[in-house]
Structure 1
Amino acid sequence: MAPTANTNSIIVIAGYGPGISASVARKFASLGYTKIALLSRTQTKLDTAAAELVATYNITAKGFAVDLADPPAVQTVLATVRENLAGTIGILFWNPGGNAKGIFDLTVETFGNDIASKVTSLVLAVQKIVDDLAANNGAVLVTGGRLSLESDESAQLAVDWNAGTLAIGKAAQRKAVHILHFALKGKGVFAGEVTVLEIVKGTSFDAAKTATLSPESIADKFAELESKRNAVFVSVP
């Protein structure tokens, strides 16, 4: 089994929300990570979530409001995270949201935001903290999705779900993760993606309330991927 990141380093949860990201934060807190930074656009939501982590796990947790579609702001907030939590970053967990648009409904702004949050900000974030990651035997962990896969089925689903921008952004993100994996491994840093193949309970795609895939099972897969580090891409379920 490969060595895991230093549990005394900071884990950054970028794109925090009540589903997968919240489950990942709880999972890594339960594994002994003592400093957690939560990133999303809404400070009040982050403050509540951080307080719950502190109360439950007796760790240091803090929220930092930032738009992941703004790459310079992301680089700036990572410096703020290091200063406020008095440490270096060992894990970057990347789970950006976004507003899915159909291929004929997208605008320059919405399409640009999808690419920025899923690819540009991810790569520039890694640039900013690469020395931290290397010093902590760190990892970059990214949430992927079924729509990113190169198949007729996924392309048809993108049309059926009116989610062309999401599919394109996730596909570009998948390639970025693949390149990051090979660019970082010589530094002792792991980069990998968990590709979610089914609809997750509680998400906007689960309008019929029929999904059976839990965010907790996805968090378990991320923990397994980080500890084993034996594949760039793994899937759930």
Structure 2
Amino acid sequence: MAPTTKTDSIVVIAGYGPGISASVARKFASLGYSKIALLSRTQTKLDAAAAELVATHKITAKGFAVDLADPPAVQSVLAAVRDDLAGTIGVLFWNPFGQGQGIFDLTAETLNNNIALSVTSLVLAVQKIADDLAANNGAILVTGGSLSLENDGSAQLAVDWNVATLAISKAAQRKAVHVLHFALKGKGIFVGEVTVHEIVKGTDFDAAGTATLTPESVADKFSELESKRNAVFVSVP
């Protein structure tokens, strides 16, 4: 069952960028959510994106600059979101992306930063807004990737592409999503992840410009997952 207070509850887009997260923001605006908060590092980019949402969808939108690898800062910014947008949070979309490094040249700093982005800040964010989500029959939606899967192919890709930090942190994120799902379902909060198996068109990984998976189709999958709430993990394509 979808949240019952769409027009009042806030959608938080954590890890905002011009690809999947921008499409998810537009998707939820089109579904009737009237308050959207955009979180990432750069305030000027957030301001421009929020202004576009306001102009196109006639909603309230605001950007909040924050380092999503800093869990206390994430908790603080969520409090600011509630105050500034005068409401409670009904959807948390978690989409931050870390830096890829190979298994033999990764640094502790980069690996820890990736774990913070994918797991620690996510869990601390949920702690902060669990009451809001419960009151709204809310949802936590997380972007995953095929590198997180436990198979020889994904492990070999992590080696070939020198992105062990991403594979390790996303695998930990997948387990966190699974644990959160079972911890929160009794409170009426849905937790789910969309595992993206292909390069998304227009993103940094699409350097050759040959990707066919659109961010809009990924956003549609998130909308479907939130609406049906019948699986923890779904895949696209």
TM-score (norm 2): 0.98
Structure 2: how far apart are the matches of 1:103 and 1:48? 37
Matches within 5 A, 1:10-89: 10-89=10-89
One-letter amino acid matched to 1:154: S
Matches within 5 A, 1:63-212: 63-212=63-212
Give the secondary-structure state (helix, strand or coil) at the position aligned to 1:209: coil
Deviation at 1:161, TM superposition (A): 1.2
1:158-201 Cα offsets, whole Å, 9 max, x none, are: 11111110010100000000000000000000000000011111
One-letter amino acid matched to 1:91: V
**Over aligned residue pairs, what C-alpha RMSD do you find?**
0.7
CA distance 1:232–1:21, shift in 2 (3 Å): same
Please tell me whether the aligned partners of residues 5 and 91 of structure 1 are also in contact (alpha carbons under 8 angstroms): no
The aligned counterpart of 1:221 is 221
Structure 2: how far apart are the matches of 1:121 and 1:15? 11
TM-score (norm 1): 0.98
Structure 1: how far apart are the matches of 2:128 and 2:149? 29
Please tell me whether the aligned partners of residues 93 and 141 of structure 1 are also in contact (alpha carbons under 8 angstroms): yes
Return 5+ residue gaps in structure 2 as ranges.
Answer: none
Deviation at 1:5, TM superposition (A): 5.2
Deviation at 1:4, TM superposition (A): 3.3
Matched, 1:6 2:1: no
The aligned counterpart of 1:235 is 235
Structure 1: how far apart are the matches of 2:54 and 2:211? 30
Structure 1: how far apart are the matches of 2:101 and 2:204? 13
Deviation at 1:210, TM superposition (A): 1.2
Please tell me whether the aligned partners of residues 3 and 90 of structure 2 are also in contact (alpha carbons under 8 angstroms): no
Identity of aligned residues (%): 81
Give the secondary-structure state (helix, strand or coil) at the position aligned to 2:213: coil
Structure 2: how far apart are the matches of 1:146 and 1:168? 11
Structure 2: how far apart are the matches of 1:190 and 1:45? 30
